[in-house]
Amino acid sequence: MTALGKALGFTRGLRFRLAFSYVFFFAILLVFLGIVFRQTLSSTFQTQMSNTLEEEWGAAKGYLRTGTEGPNWFYDSKDPDETFTVERLRRVYMLADTQGHPLQYSVIYSSIGLDSPSQIQAILQSGKETRVRTDAQGIPYMIRSGLMVDERGNRYYLAIGRAIDYNDKVLRDFTWNYFALVPIVLLASGLLGWFLAGKALGPVNSVAEAAQRITHSSLDMQIPLRHAGDELDRLIEAFNHMMTRLNRSFEQIRQFSTDVSHELRTPLTVARGQLEVALFTAQTVEQHREAMAEALEGIDRLSNIVRALLLLSQSESGQLTLQKGRLDLAGLVRDLVDQHQIPAEAQGVRLSAELPATCAIYADRIQIERMVSNLLGNAIKYTPAGGQVTARLTLEGEQVKLAVEDTGVGIAPDHLPHIFDRFYRVPSADPDKGLGLGLSFVAWIAKAHGGSVDVESQLRKGTRFIVTLPAGRAATVAPETPAVPLTEQVH
Ligand SMILES: Nc1ncnc2c1ncn2[C@@H]1O[C@H](COP(=O)(O)OP(=O)(O)OP(=O)(O)O)[C@@H](O)[C@H]1O
Ligand SMILES: [Mg+2]
């Protein structure tokens, strides 16, 4: 990685981004506060100064009178207070008649620039005015000017002023000091942010390291919880749950492959054995025929397994889409019960059905036939001679319930939770060797149609499978849906 790449990678890190956003928002906040403080300070100074000028204007009114030689300042020159006040008033001032001709003015005011008659006329018209002006040295003054009427009712134009350079200096100093401090504060907050982000993200790194150590063979590994009850603990918990689920499905796949190879090996060995008998030991045509027939049986079984496996893998990968359409379940069950009468009779089992005249559902005909056949086939297969198998169809509100019950061998409670697993067979109950796949298809088909299968069983008394499916009213009919992978079956 190049140096630039490294630097870019660094800035993409969560720690950098956290610390950076911290500093960024802090900077915006500091600048904003600085501007607000400066504005407040400046307007406070301004109001203070115009209040002072207003007071001085009132004082000037008391001292300025019209004497024999025109307007003049009258005060007790022996009183130091009065002298001081009048002296201060006369530092920055200008007096003019109402025509705008200057009568008196201070040196400072002349350096600021005397007001022109037209200016004075304009101010006199508006009553009063407060403005800021600068003298020849660049010192700013606040000037308050307007009409002044003395005790005898004579009218003049008076302007008095005060230097405001000190206020400006305070404002400038504040601005400089404040904004010089900002980078230092930002640097300190950046370091603090970096440290805090590092501390907060430390556990994330350890989680990442632990996750990296997990390989295909160590899927059962769990990241230890920190018991801090925080977001990270929740992340670790979610991660551990995910690992458990992954481990379970890996385990299922592993088990499945083992089961498949095991299932294929037995009929292969049988077929091979019989063929060897035919080839090496069989003498008569009868013996040859027998060996061949048994080999053929093994091959039949093999092709059954291969067909079932194909279907299984199609449903597992979601390739098997349901061709749903309107379907009369009552008619379908009736036909299938009729078809199963022959094997039932052969087994010595009575097979009957209790069905309504019609029962509409929205489903894939082939799959539903496969499901019902499997249930009927099982019921007949696992019921000894003299027993009874009944298929019962009822409509309960929005649901259709199909119960297939028998008076057969029943299933022991230990086996009951597993019968929907692939290749699972109750060992002793197997009269004729099945594949142990039938019920996994039943469960998958029910689930793919938005329904479910339940089972109740008592050993040596009988078993009842109940399939629940949504009723197929036109309004509730669902659009074409892809099948749910078999791995998501409810067992
Ligand atoms: N009606 C039933 N009565 C008693 N046991 C049953 C019944 N239905 C299923 N079982 C038990 O559940 C197991 C699983 O049934 P499933 O239909 O999946 O397999 P199978 O019938 O053995 O083989 P396959 O249907 O694949 O040919 C069976 O081996 C059997 O032990
Ligand atoms: Mg079966």
Q: Which residues surround ligand 2, an ion (CB under 5 A)?
A: 378, 434, 438
Taking alpha carbons only, the member of 256, 8, 224, 52 closest to residue 143 is 52
| DSSP assigned state of 486 | G
Pocket test for ligand 1, best of 263, 383, 390, 439 (most atoms within 8 A of CB): 439
For residue 473, the model assigns a pLDDT of 59
The token duo for 437 is 């796949």
Which candidate, 94, 95, 77, places its Cα nearest to that of 86?
A: 77
Q: Give the separation between CA 488 and CA 448, rounded to whole angstroms.
A: 10
Which residues are near ligand 1 (CB < 6 Å)? 374, 378-379, 382, 406, 408-411, 419, 424-426, 429-430, 434-439, 463
Residue nearest to atom 8 of ligand 1 (CA): 378
Q: Residue 210 has what pLDDT?
A: 78
The answer to whether 290 and 277 have CB atoms below 8 angstroms apart is no
Q: Smallest Cα–Cα separation from 310: which of 356, 348, 260?
A: 260
**What was the pLDDT predicted at 416?**
94
Cα 76 to chain centroid distance, Å, stands at 84
Pairwise CA distance, residues 117 & 115, whole Å: 7
Give the atom of ligand 1 at the shortest distance from the alpha carbon of 425: 29
Is the CB of residue 63 less than 8 Å from the CB of residue 95?
no
Residue with the two structure tokens 């407060």 = 130
> Quick check: helix, strand or coil at residue 30?
helix
The tokens 């292969």 sit on which residue?
268
> Quick one: pLDDT at residue 481?
46
Residue nearest to atom 19 of ligand 1 (CA): 436
Instruction: Identify the residue whose tokens are 């060992």.
Output: 427
Contacts of 440 (CB under 8 A, 6+ apart): 312, 420, 421, 422, 486, 489
- Domains of the chain plus CATH, in order, are 15-169 (3.30.450), 231-316 (1.10.287.130), 324-488 (3.30.565.10)
**pLDDT at site 430:** 56
Closest residue by Cα to atom 10, ligand 1, is 378
End-to-end CA distance of the chain: 51
Task: Single out the residue of 73, 66, 56 nearest to residue 155, CA to CA.
Answer: 66
Query: What pLDDT sits at residue 474?
Result: 45
Pairing of strands 388-396, 462-470: unpaired
> DSSP secondary structure string, 397-456?
TTEEEEEEEE-S----TTTGGGTTSTT---STT-SS---S-HHHHHHHHHHHTT-EEEEE
How far apart, in whole angstroms, are the C-alpha atoms of residue 208 and residue 86?
A: 82
What pLDDT, on a 0 to 100 scale, did the predictor assign at position 477?
A: 41
Pocket test for ligand 1, best of 372, 373, 419, 454 (most atoms within 8 A of CB): 419
What does each of the 491 residues of the chain score in pLDDT, given as a tens digit?
A: 567 766 667 777 888 888 899 899 999 999 999 999 999 999 999 999 999 999 999 888 888 888 877 888 888 889 999 899 999 989 999 999 989 899 999 999 999 999 999 999 999 988 888 999 998 888 999 999 999 888 888 889 999 999 999 988 999 999 999 999 999 999 999 999 999 988 888 878 877 887 787 776 677 778 888 788 888 888 888 888 988 888 877 887 787 788 788 778 888 888 899 899 888 998 999 999 999 998 998 899 889 888 887 887 777 677 778 899 999 999 999 999 999 999 999 999 999 999 999 999 999 999 999 999 999 999 999 999 999 999 999 999 899 999 999 999 999 999 999 999 887 888 865 556 677 889 988 998 999 999 999 999 999 999 999 999 999 754 344 444 444 444 443 33
Ligand 2 centre and the CA of 97: distance in Å? 123
- The pLDDT value recorded for residue 61 is 86
Q: Which atom of ligand 1 sits closest to the CA of residue 462?
A: 3
Rounded to the nearest angstrom, the distance between the alpha carbon of 389 and the centre of ligand 1 is: 15
Model pTM score: 0.53
Three-class SS of residue 393? strand
DSSP code per residue over 152-220: T--EEEEEEEEE-HHHHHHHHHHHHHHHHHHHHHHHHHHHHHHHHHHHHHHHHHHHHHHHHH--GGGTT
Q: Give bridge partners of residue 360 from the DSSP assignment.
A: 328
- Pocket mutation for ligand 1, best pick of 425, 428, 441, 454 (most atoms within 8 Å of C-beta): 425
C-alpha–C-alpha distance, residues 122 and 146, integer Å: 10
Is 407 in contact with 460 (CB distance < 8 Å)? no
- Can you tell me which atom of ligand 1 is nearest the CA of 433? 22
